[in-house]
Amino acid sequence: MKSPEKSEMKTWRVSRQMLLSSLLALWAVTIGQACGGRPGPHMEVAPETIKTGAGSSGGSGISYQDVKPIFESRCMACHTNIAPKWTDYNAALAYVQNGKLKLRVVTLKTMPQVGSPQASAITDAERSLIGQWADLGGPEFPGSPVETPVGGGGGTATPPPTFAWDAAAKCVGCHGTTATNDPRVPVLAGQRAGYILAQLQSFRADRRTDQVMAQMPAIAKSLTDEEMRVVAAIYSNLTPATPTGTFTGNYDRVRSNLNMCKGCHSPQNGGANYPFLNGQNKAYLIDQLVAFQQRSRTDYIVSDFMNLMANDLSATTIDELAEYLSLMKQGDQFP
Ligand code: HEC
Ligand code: HEC
Ligand code: HEC
């Protein structure tokens, strides 16, 4: 209980959905500034160099006419009943302006919905075109001025906080959106926002070191407080991939060992700063338990509790616990 950031943590004891929507509202108030019609700072390719068939008209930039066919073929199978209706220009513009279109389609790639046929069908060039259109502020026709939508699709009429996707883009390469490629990198999707934020603060303050790649402290130091809150909220709102595989250890033994962990780590227990372990990568869990045991990770929220907890665990027990936890689905109660 020695952390100066503890009172700040309390603010995270709210539902995740509320958190994200209040953050979006906060950006709208604090970050709002006109940028309609200007290219965003992170456009990789000049708009003139990318063309699609429909609606392009000679070099005057990407417009709604270029992206509408993509919306029709890749989005409308679902978004006829789910807002926003991408074939309605004002609805689409509202999501350019609240930042969610680029965030979901380009940065996080969680739209089209992960696992859907549309997600397999959409090309990187199409995602990029949508991103560039969003960077331009979402003009309706080539070169046309961008106007504030009237009665749009539920977004705010405030320009996108560009820092949000810049910050999240720094993480996706290693932490993925639903799973990671490297099993020693932790899955963040669906993790508690309060825990993610606490760990970023620990890395930034050099209270926690990166056991695997030694990069997290520097990455955390590159984020502002606001960006930390935003990425924590974004990740906690993503749905992790469902684990596959079969537990090969001794079920009765692992169940009895998990009794030591249940009170703090089962999804229904623990506080805002307590990590979910369900579905976490096995190799990462082993790394961390060994780090707690060897005192190379010293926890600051509950003092040396995890260090003591890991003290007496044998290598076999750690392996078995890690395997079982890694195979549990998000939200599953401990056995
Ligand atoms: C297979 C169905 C499916 C397809 C295809 C799909 N979506 Fe979605 N979309 C959903 C669902 C379900 C939600 C609501 C849940 C969520 O936010 O994940 C949603 C939500 C969204 C949101 C967030 C809306 C909000 O109010 O926060 C955006 C942005 C979005 N979709 C963009 C797109 C775009 C752009 C495409 C096409 C490139 C697309 N989606 C294709 C199912 C789909
Ligand atoms: C170069 C790869 C890399 C990048 C990029 C990266 N991370 Fe990490 N991250 C890691 C590794 C590896 C660990 C595990 C470190 C350890 O062993 O303690 C980690 C750990 C974490 C943890 C602790 C998770 C837990 O379960 O305790 C958080 C939170 C985190 N990263 C957030 C982020 C955020 C937010 C970003 C983007 C701003 C980011 N990371 C970018 C590699 C990366
Ligand atoms: C009294 C509560 C408590 C108990 C009991 C407990 N833990 Fe923890 N555990 C925590 C807290 C709090 C953290 C976060 C530590 C920090 O802030 O760095 C944590 C962190 C962890 C982590 C690191 C997760 C990550 O994403 O980096 C692992 C792995 C872990 N615990 C496994 C276990 C296992 C296995 C058991 C049972 C043998 C157990 N814990 C028992 C409170 C507890």
**Domain closes at, from 112, 133, 158:** 158
Question: Does 136 share its domain with 269?
Answer: no
CA distance linking residue 297 with residue 293, whole number of Å:
8
**Domain closes at, from 158, 181, 203:** 158
Residue 210: which residues within 8 A CB-CB, separation 6 or more? 203, 216, 217
Looking at per-residue pLDDT, the higher value among 247 and 102 belongs to 247
Given a cut of 70, is residue 110 above it in pLDDT?
A: yes
Region of residue 109 (left: phi > 0; alpha: psi -120 to 50; beta: else): left
**Domain closes at, from 141, 158, 175:** 158
Question: Does 136 share its domain with 123?
Answer: yes
Asked if 335 and 258 count as a contact pair (C-beta separation under 8 A), the reply is yes
Its domain, for residue 79, covers 33-158
Question: Does 113 share its domain with 175?
Answer: no
Name residues contacting ligand 2 (CB within 6 A): 167, 170-171, 173-175, 185-186, 188, 196, 199-200, 210-213, 215-216, 219, 223, 231, 275, 287
Structure tokens at 290: 């060994």
Q: Please report the pLDDT score of residue 251 as a whole number.
A: 96
Residue identified by tokens 């999707």 is: 189
Ligand 3 midpoint to CA 237 (Å): 21
Going by pLDDT thresholds of 50, 70 and 90, the confidence category of residue 26 is: very low
Tell the residue nearest (CA) to atom 23 of ligand 3: 288
Question: Does 307 share its domain with 176?
Answer: yes
Residue identified by tokens 């996706």 is: 172
Q: What is the mean pLDDT of residues 315-327?
A: 98
CA distance linking residue 199 with residue 210, whole number of Å:
11
Q: Residues 277-314, buried b or exposed e (16+ Cβ, 10 A)?
A: bbbbbbbbbbbbbbbbbeeebebbbeeeebbebbeebe
Among residues 108, 84, 127, 125, the alpha carbon closest in space to that of 188 is found at 108
Given a cut of 60, is residue 11 above it in pLDDT?
A: no
Residue identified by tokens 């930390």 is: 228
Tell the residue nearest (CA) to atom 43 of ligand 2: 174
Question: Does 249 share its domain with 305?
Answer: yes
Q: Please report the pLDDT score of residue 200 as a whole number.
A: 95
Is the bond preceding residue 142 a cis peptide, omega within 30 degrees? Answer: no
Question: Does 77 share its domain with 51?
Answer: yes
Going by pLDDT thresholds of 50, 70 and 90, the confidence category of residue 208 is: very high
Given a cut of 70, is residue 297 above it in pLDDT?
A: yes
Question: Does 318 share its domain with 177?
Answer: yes
Residue identified by tokens 């290598």 is: 315
Report the residue among 177, 182, 197, 216 best suited for mutation to probe ligand 2: largest number of ligand atoms under 8 A from its CB.
Answer: 216
Q: Could you give the number of structural domains in the chain?
A: 2
233-280: pLDDT as tens digits: 888 888 899 999 999 999 999 999 999 999 999 988 877 789 999 999
CA distance linking residue 128 with residue 43, whole number of Å:
9
Q: Please report the pLDDT score of residue 187 as a whole number.
A: 97
Asked if 253 and 320 count as a contact pair (C-beta separation under 8 A), the reply is yes
114-129: pLDDT as tens digits: 788 999 999 999 999 9
Going by pLDDT thresholds of 50, 70 and 90, the confidence category of residue 147 is: low
Question: Does 53 share its domain with 107?
Answer: yes
Ligand 1 midpoint to CA 247 (Å): 34
Question: Does 212 share its domain with 166?
Answer: yes
Structure tokens at 71: 């919306």
Residue 225: which residues within 8 A CB-CB, separation 6 or more? none
Task: Check which CATH number belongs to the domain holding 286 and give it.
Answer: 1.10.760.10
| Segment among 47-56, 73-82, 192-201, 306-315 with least mean pLDDT | 47-56
One-letter amino acid for residue 314 of the chain: S
Q: Please report the pLDDT score of residue 163 as a whole number.
A: 61
Given a cut of 90, is residue 186 above it in pLDDT?
A: yes
Question: Does 193 share its domain with 331?
Answer: yes
Going by pLDDT thresholds of 50, 70 and 90, the confidence category of residue 107 is: confident
Question: Does 328 share its domain with 198?
Answer: yes
52-73: pLDDT as tens digits: 333 333 344 899 999 999 999 9
Question: Does 172 share its domain with 299?
Answer: yes
Residue identified by tokens 């990198």 is: 185
